[in-house]
């Protein structure tokens, strides 16, 4: 009897080219240190899966995979990574003793079980292939199923989507416990604080006209640098230049013409 489905050579080549790459990328996801690299490797795995979907006759799902997963979901992941900070808890050290050997043993056992199960199981018939089902078109076939047989799950899942959106809004909402201080209150507080030094605003950075970069502290009248003239972020990063080198005393006086 003629088999219903024969797999063409291009698909075989495609599979043996992309499947090892996707397995390597997903292994790399576990092994790389930075979460951003994990995200990029996962995006690659998702693209290879999209190619597999299209190769298997699931045209619509392949396109949706690219648009939804590599487009929206991975973008969301990268957005949250940037929001939370790239270097958060990226270390690969083992915090629970013995967790890693147990996890790997269990994984090898589970994977071996699945693979041997698949190797032994038979359907008792030949694979059919999607040529008949995709006859009027893959999208048309899916739509016909979605709006007839699966219309109730479709409605339920739309309710799930709306609930998830509302849940994310509730979780992300941040309620102020105290009212925001008005400009007038801030001004009154500046003048009633311990010293009047900051009442007129903090000094700007830069040393006279010699150097006005934001990372150079301003000089006070007695010649000492003013630390409050530098942004706290620059101070925390240690990106502050010593302003003494720009003092007027250090002008090279040997050239008479310039004076």
Under 8 Å between Cβ of 60 and 146: no
Torsion from C-alpha of 240, 243, 244, 248, nearest 10 degrees: 170
Q: Which is nearer to another protein, 126 or 239 (CB)?
A: 126
Query: Shortest approach of another protein to residue 20 CB, angstroms?
Result: 9
Which residue's CB is nearer to another protein, number 79 or number 208? Answer: 79
Contact 56, 49 (CB under 8 A): no
Give the 3-state DSSP-derived string for 14-61, with helices as H, strands as E and coil as C: HHHHHHHHHHHHHHHHHHCCCHHHHHHHHHHHHHHHHHHHHHCCCHHH
Shortest CB 30 distance to another protein, Å? 5
Rounded Cα gap, residues 88 and 198, in angstroms: 36
The candidate with the shortest Cα–Cα distance to 63, out of 136, 143, 162, 138, is 138
Q: Report, in Å, the least distance between residue 90 CB and another protein.
A: 6
Alpha helices in 147-248 (DSSP H): 151-172, 183-192, 232-237
Q: In whole angstroms, what is the distance from residue 217 CA to residue 235 CA?
A: 10
* Residue number, 167 or 227, with CB nearest to another protein: 167
In this structure, how many other beta carbons lie within 10 angstroms of the beta carbon of residue 246? 19
Nearer to another protein, 35 or 219 (CB): 35
Which secondary-structure segment (H or E) carries 244?
none
Nearer to another protein, 69 or 246 (CB): 69
In the complex with another protein, the residue whose CB is nearer, 127 or 181, is: 127
Would you state the structure tokens that stand for residue 132, as one six-digit string?
């008949």
When the beta carbons of 108 and 188 are compared against another protein, the nearer one is 108
Distance of closest approach, residue 181 Cβ to another protein, in angstroms = 21
Q: Which three-class secondary structure state does DSSP give residue 78?
A: helix
Smallest distance from the beta carbon of 133 to another protein, in angstroms? 5
Least distance from C-beta 235 to another protein, angstroms? 20
CB of 180 to another protein, least distance (A): 18
């Amino acid at each position: 009897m003629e088999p219903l489905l024969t797999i063409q050579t291009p698909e075989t080549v495609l599979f043996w080219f992309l499947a090892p790459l996707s397995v390597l990328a997903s292994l790399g996801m576990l092994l790389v240190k930075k979460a951003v690299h994990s995200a990029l490797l996962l995006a690659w795995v998702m693209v290879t899966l999209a190619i597999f979907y299209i190769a298997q006759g699931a045209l619509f799902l392949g396109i949706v995979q690219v648009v939804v997963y590599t487009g929206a979901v991975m973008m969301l992941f990268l957005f949250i990574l940037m929001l939370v900070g790239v270097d958060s808890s990226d270390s690969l050290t083992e915090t629970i003793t013995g967790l890693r050997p147990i996890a790997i043993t269990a994984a090898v056992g589970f994977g071996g079980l699945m693979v041997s199960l698949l190797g032994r199981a038979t359907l008792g018939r030949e694979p059919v292939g999607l040529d008949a089902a995709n006859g009027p078109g893959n999208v048309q076939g899916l739509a016909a199923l979605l709006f007839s047989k699966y219309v109730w799950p479709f409605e339920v899942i739309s309710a799930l989507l709306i609930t998830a959106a509302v849940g994310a809004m509730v979780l992300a909402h941040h309620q102020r416990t105290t009212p925001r201080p008005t400009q007038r209150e801030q001004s009154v507080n500046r003048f009633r604080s311990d010293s009047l030094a900051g009442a007129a605003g903090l000094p700007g950075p830069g040393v006279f006209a010699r150097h006005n970069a934001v990372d150079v502290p301003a000089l006070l009248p007695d010649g000492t640098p003013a630390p409050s003239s530098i942004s706290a972020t620059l101070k925390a990063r240690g990106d502050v230049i010593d302003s003494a080198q720009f003092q007027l005393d250090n002008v090279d006086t040997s050239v008479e013409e310039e004076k």
